[in-house]
Amino acid sequence: MNIDLHTHSYYSDGVLSPKEIINKAVNAECQFISLTDHDSLEGLAEAEKSANEFNINFIKGVEISAKHGPYSIHIVGLGINDNNKTLIHGLQQNNQFRINRAKMIGKGLQKVGIENAYKKARSLSKTKYITRTHFAQMIILEGICQNMPSVFKKYMNGNKPGAVKGEWAKSDDVVSWIHSAGGLAILAHPLRYKMTLTKLKKMISDLKEIGLDGIEIVNSFSSPDEIAKSKKIADDYELLYSCGSDFHGWPNQSIELGKIPLYDYGKKFVLNYL
């Protein structure tokens, strides 16, 4: 059974429409699909309508940027009510920062000779949403870098010219918005944060205290070792298991929607609690 609980459309930093996401899910023979755009609920109604036409189970999701101490992390909300005022209002806060940050990124890149960066990145988005992915893709299209990891390393992370410290909502607020909207709060891609295992465990233990429900244990290219490591963390802190490709659909990315390593999740699989 193919299940994908982490995907992006052009209502954040993906390329496809929500309808096209559902089409992909049908072609990939997914039984369950969730759309989890960054800080955005805008694609959910279209995706749900399309999923109903195809008779595929659709789970309303969102991937929310959050600040946890010095770290910027991503918390996925699954099974959320997208009409919930607390959640909608909270996401507006993050999106206000997104717009300001995009202009600051543009100015930073200008300083190293990338002209009109904001305008060029904007033009790569089919919607009002602008993310660092749009800047990164623009830098690749300009022939300045070859691939996404190298752009992030050279231009977008740490103290690089296009890096801006994340002023996202606090993790405890994010978890409470998700719960207000009736969803489950899942830490996205736990092994992708640049922190030691000790710090990661401390963070997950703190997040559990504030109500985190689960963590992703399988993403697109998770190795058996990585899955075992994430599962152990989930078990140690009594958290549910989730999974998803984190599909974005840019032509230079190899992730495919619905294609993640097969895994027998058992009783603690998040789908059993949605």
What minimum distance in Å lies between the beta carbon of 3 and Mn ion?
Answer: 16
Listed ranges 28-36, 75-83, 125-133, 234-242: which one lies at the site for ligand AMP (CB under 6 A): 125-133
Per-residue contact flags (x/-) with ligand AMP for residues 227 to 256, judged by CB under 6 A: ---------------------x--------
DSSP per residue, the chain: -EEE--B--TTTT-SS-HHHHHHHHHHTTEEEEEE--BT--TTHHHHHHHHHHHT-EEEEEEEEEEEETTEEEEEEEES--TT-HHHHHHHHHHHHHHHHHHHHHHHHHHHTT-TTHHHHHHHT-SSS---HHHHHHHHHHTTS-SSHHHHIIIIISTTSTT-----PEEHHHHHHHHHHTT-EEEE--GGGSSS-HHHHHHHHHHHHHTT--EEEEE-TT--HHHHHHHHHHHHHTT-EEEE---B---TT----TT-------GGGBGGGG-
The listed partner (Mn ion, ligand AMP, none) that binds 22, CB under 5 to 8 Å by sort, is none
Binding-site residue total for Mn ion (CB under 5 A)? 5
| CA angle centred on 161, ends 114 and 96, rounded to 5° | 95
Q: Shortest distance, CB of residue 253 to ligand AMP, whole angstroms?
A: 8
User: Which of 11, 58, 152, 247 contacts ligand AMP by CB under 6 A?
Assistant: 152
Q: Is 169 in the site for ligand AMP (CB under 6 A)?
A: no
Q: How many residues line the site for ligand AMP (CB under 6 A)?
A: 10
User: Of 125, 149, 129, 153, which is closest to residue 138 (Cα–Cα)?
Assistant: 125
Q: Is 4 in the site for Mn ion (CB under 5 A)?
A: no
- Placement of tokens 């399309």 in the chain: 50
Q: Which of 3, 4, 9, 13 binds Mn ion (CB under 5 A)?
A: 13
The DSSP bridge pattern shows strands 184-187 and 71-78 to be: antiparallel
Q: How many CB atoms lie within 10 A of CB 226?
A: 16
Q: Which is nearer to Mn ion, 36 or 50 (CB)?
A: 36
Residue 65 binding target from Mn ion, ligand AMP, none, CB below 5 to 8 Å by type: ligand AMP
Least spacing, CB of residue 238 vs ligand AMP, in Å: 27
Q: Is 133 in the site for ligand AMP (CB under 6 A)?
A: yes
Which of ligand AMP, Mn ion, none does 188 bind, CB closer than 5 to 8 A by kind? Mn ion
The answer to the question of residue 65 lying near ligand AMP (CB under 6 A) is yes
Among 4, 13, 42, 46, binds ligand AMP (CB under 6 A): 13
Q: Contact letters (x/-) for ligand AMP, 20-39, by CB under 6 A?
A: ------------------x-
Q: Which one among 17, 131, 176, 245 touches ligand AMP, defined by CB under 6 A?
A: 131
Please report, as ranges, the residues that interact with ligand AMP according to CB under 6 A.
13, 38, 65, 131-133, 148-149, 152, 248
- Interacting residue ranges for Mn ion, rule: CB under 5 A: 13, 63, 74, 188, 246
